[in-house]
Structure 1
Amino acid sequence: MAVKKRNKTAYKGVFYITSTHPTTGVNEKIFYIRYYKNGKSIEEKAGRQHQDRMTPAKANRLRVLRIEGRVDSNEERREKIRAEREKMNTSRLWETFYDAKQENKSIKDDRNRWRAYLLKDFGRKIPEEISTTDIDKLRRKLQDRGLAPGTVKQGLVLLKRILNFGAKRGLCQPVNQAKLHFEMPKVNNIKTEDLTPRQLSSLMEAIETSSNKPAANMMLMALYTGMRKGEIFKLRWNDINFNRGFITLKDPKGGTDQRIPLNNLTRSILEDLPQKDSEYIFPGRDNGPTKEMRIPFRRICDNAGLAKDFRPMHGLRHVFASTLASSGQVDMYTLQKLLTHKTPSMVQRYAHLRDDAMMKASEVVGDMYQKMQKCGGQKR
């Protein structure tokens, strides 16, 4: 390839070559500047005659600014652009966080929260640029959308977890608590759903008449065992020991496999189910585990006339626990084990039901003594 002729201009260190524009086909001058900076000879393009409206005088002014360091050289500008692109923004930090947390059961929920609550406002931000004002704006924005306090808190907590993760991995600066404050909304998670005898009767009737038998049987399983929705969805036939009368919950919420009793009501449901070509008791698509049954569950609850805020499967788990606690026949430790909670604190919400049952039981003695006293008085 022939070397194009360099043409001098009236300005020192400014020259041009003549070239054909690749798009228009018009011949034009391309101006270059040559100078020394920090002892290094630099030669770079200043611009095109027509496309950039470059002239020898403009090229000379650019050369002077570059020599004085008031304008970056082309290489310096390219380096800054590269550095900016490689800078760890919050989106890249999230991607690293997501890849590292694949074993977490909640990572899919985190991904949904990231996309719904954080990506738009924080994706392009550099972690060090995030301020308390940004956090406050996010909290107000989510609250203005009508999200529940618990949901707002989950979004804020996720952002904080991402930043802390980045700091521990050396991907960004540690969160400065003095400059970056996460004010969390107040959340009352102690929601114990229960059903009156009439509501429970209506629900049982709606379950019995439901055309969606898998959904109906899942709801009965939750009511009879207190199992979580996810545990029922992924329950396999080999998790059921019909001979010894136990159900094994593999990889439950607490992380450690648990065993719960197979009571007669649950046994009856399972024995009546047809065993299809799947290892799962309630198979979904492609004979894998069921992923979602929200609409059928909701329809059954609506047919029973239950409140819209009653959570079908989680609510039935509460009904199971409340029924046992109020019976007066089950202590809190046993209830904790049946619900597969790690600590007793999670079953304390049912303690008052147990106390009420004990109070009623103690009154039985008083009633008996009163009857005995009345009988004794009549004999005298």
Structure 2
Amino acid sequence: MSTRQRHKTKYPGVIYRIPNGEYAGQAEKVFYAIYKQDGKVIEAKIGGQVQHGMTAAKASKIRAEYMTGARLTPQVQRDKDEADKLAEEGKPTFQKLWVHFAEEMQGNTSYKDDRSRWEKHLAPVFGDKTPDEIITLDLDRLKAKLKRDSLSPATTKHVLGLLRRIINFSVIHNRCPRVDPGRLHFAMPKLNNEKTEDLSPDELSRLITAIDQSPDWKAAGVLRLAMLTGMRRGELLALKWGDIDFDKGFLRIVSPKGGKDASIPLNDSATRVLHGLPRTESVYVFPGRNGARSFDLKKPISAIKKAAGLPADFRPCHGLRHFFASTLASSGKVDLHTIQRLLNHQSPSMTQRYAHLRDEAMREASNVMNAIIEDAVNG
């Protein structure tokens, strides 16, 4: 019997065919639904009597569901599954966006920290989601989780900042649509950055000794210049010989954190340090591998810190920058505006943390006059 021959049932639009061969040793009937949709005749396979336990009555109910859209025909379901699969493959999940973001950012000094933040805190939560699938509440839940994990507000800010940078980068490069700020708002935790690291005279002496005894000339040179100029670690590692004007006694900082190129004066001690550094074929003062820019001197700098016996929370480069500023402020000889320019602070408010040191120096100067007058009166 031909497998194409139709056999009517007592139910309108329900037929069956008898295919060649058997199923599980029994003759099989395969039921089909026939109906019109958008002017087109549809013939959809429903199932076999033996294989699926199908009957004409069941097939009639399924046909009605096909016609109303309550159930998809097997072919339509296959087409939908394929379309969903293709859509899923092209879905701009954060995991995919991170890959493109990371490719561009691998040369940055913050890349290792960003990768750690992504792997530890963001990928497990948002890796399979797209930017338009998360809302502000999701960020609030992330902040709450980081707080439960005893992470600092600064770390939380860095994690949220990374997520925002991934989104902005992806939007700029047309990898995902722009996010509605009404649905996703980044409320960053407020930080208390007023910590001003300082060194006691004894700690300073031990640090200078450890620097002098360090076998790593790059780490030693970076710390010496940080102490004498207040420059940031990234600015020192990016420093090129062509940025230094020994004749005029100035050093040019290219695109510092403040956003614009800047020049700072070189004091005699800093000039001697620079003259004492070995000159290689690299354009960089502190070159990395193959003469390229160096991005990390963490190990040798940490070794110097350990040798000096400095506190665990003292950050060598950052701390020496603060030491430079606080020493100038407490001298009473340098105003805050000048300190701001030396530090390349974008805003005066960033230098304001040293105001109390300047005030104390002025108070001591005022007390000198007070003592002179008292001596004159009592004399």
TM bin (shorter chain): 0.7 to 0.9
Which whole-Å deviations, capped at 9, do the CAs of 1:53-110 have from their partners, x for residues lacking one?
5465477665443223111243362476158527855527845994999799798465
1:308 aligns with 2:312: yes
Query: 1:247 maps to what in 2?
Result: 251
What's the offset of the Cα at 1:211? 1.8
SS in 2 for 1:218: helix
Query: 2:84 maps to what in 1?
Result: 81
Question: Any residues of structure 2 matched to 1:272-311 within 5 Å, and which?
Answer: 272-311=276-315
Unaligned 5+ segments in structure 1 are 20-27
Query: 1:347 maps to what in 2?
Result: 351
Question: Any residues of structure 2 matched to 1:128-277 within 5 Å, and which?
Answer: 128-131=132-135, 133-159=137-163, 171=177, 174-176=180-182, 184-277=188-281
Q: Is the 8 A contact 1:31 1:54 kept in 2?
A: no
Aligned-pair identity in percent equals 42
Equivalent residues, number: 361
**Alpha-carbon distance in 1 for matches of 2:313, 2:256:** 25
Q: Is the 8 A contact 1:321 1:350 kept in 2?
A: yes
Q: Is the 8 A contact 1:235 1:280 kept in 2?
A: yes
**Alpha-carbon distance in 2 for matches of 1:276, 1:216:** 17
SS in 2 for 1:254: coil
**Alpha-carbon distance in 2 for matches of 1:287, 1:90:** 38
**Alpha-carbon distance in 2 for matches of 1:107, 1:301:** 21
Q: Is the 8 A contact 2:30 2:48 kept in 1?
A: yes
Q: Is the 8 A contact 1:16 1:31 kept in 2?
A: no
What's the offset of the Cα at 1:198? 1.3
Which residue identity does 1:140 align to in structure 2? Answer: A
**Alpha-carbon distance in 1 for matches of 2:49, 2:284:** 72
SS in 2 for 1:260: strand
**Alpha-carbon distance in 2 for matches of 1:47, 1:260:** 83
Q: Normalised by the size of structure 2, how large is the TM-score?
A: 0.80
Q: Is the 8 A contact 2:31 2:45 kept in 1?
A: yes
Q: Is the 8 A contact 2:94 2:131 kept in 1?
A: no
**Alpha-carbon distance in 2 for matches of 1:253, 1:227:** 11
**Alpha-carbon distance in 2 for matches of 1:18, 1:238:** 86
Query: 2:336 maps to what in 1?
Result: 332
Q: Is the 8 A contact 1:88 1:172 kept in 2?
A: no
1:358 to 346, 362, 365: 362
What's the offset of the Cα at 1:158? 4.3
**Alpha-carbon distance in 2 for matches of 1:258, 1:348:** 20
Query: 1:66 maps to what in 2?
Result: 66
Q: Is the 8 A contact 1:248 1:257 kept in 2?
A: yes
**Alpha-carbon distance in 2 for matches of 1:94, 1:217:** 39
Q: Is the 8 A contact 2:117 2:159 kept in 1?
A: yes
Query: 2:41 maps to what in 1?
Result: 41
Q: Is the 8 A contact 1:33 1:43 kept in 2?
A: yes
Query: 1:6 maps to what in 2?
Result: 4
Between 74-83 and 239-248, report the one with greater CA deviation. Answer: 74-83
Which whole-Å deviations, capped at 9, do the CAs of 1:95-151 have from their partners, x for residues lacking one?
599499979979846565344322221222354543555333312221233321111
What's the offset of the Cα at 1:16? 7.2
Which whole-Å deviations, capped at 9, do the CAs of 1:302-327 have from their partners, x for residues lacking one?
22111111111111100000011111
Q: Is the 8 A contact 2:66 2:72 kept in 1?
A: yes
Unaligned 5+ segments in structure 2 are 22-27
